[in-house]
Chain A
């Protein structure tokens, strides 16, 4: 059982380039999330999707777009990368939308460097 799979694991971009981070889960979870992790700042929510067909902004959405392609897949796009977007990105999923007892399951992370 793969759980949450993110690709790519590493990426180097130049300022202004675009890219998409892909995330897929095989646990039939309704809710999916994108976080970024920066030193000393913990995890910050970029966007989340409570269920297929819906997306909502989190704490730091500027410079990002998302697509909930289907129940399994939730992608994060950087249209014009900036050095401030250098970070480790984590995708996560959760069993039921609205249930506050369910845990988050995380992917292994995607390390992005913007030069």
Chain B
């Protein structure tokens, strides 16, 4: 089957710290992988995506690399800011119409 497992939160970091949020997946075929971000009181918005193995998605200083050999898509940022405080969701889309989301990781960045 298809599923996404991401690290439990909440995560609290100081400003300018390095961020890693782990995400692993199980899937049939060759899925596309996504990271979404949800700011308080808002809907989810796409942060980055990768559509095939070894692709690196990047946006707003965040990066994630599609690793087929380890079935992972870990989110990283070298220096977080207070404005990065949000909930982050890893997701996959196998062939077909459905998306599968992880349970979300809450990040709080303190000044």
- Chain A positions within 8 Å of B, measured between CB atoms, are 4, 31, 33, 40-43, 45, 48, 50, 56, 58, 90, 92, 94, 97-98, 100-109
Contact = CB atoms under 8 A, between A and B. Distances in A.
Contacts, number: 57
B103 interface: yes
Contacts of B36: 104
A100 B96 contact: yes
A31 B97 CA distance: 8
Contact of A98 (B32, B46, B96, B101): B96
- The interface size bin for chain B is 20 to 34
Interface in B42-62: 42-46, 49, 51
Contact of A100 (B31, B42, B101): B31
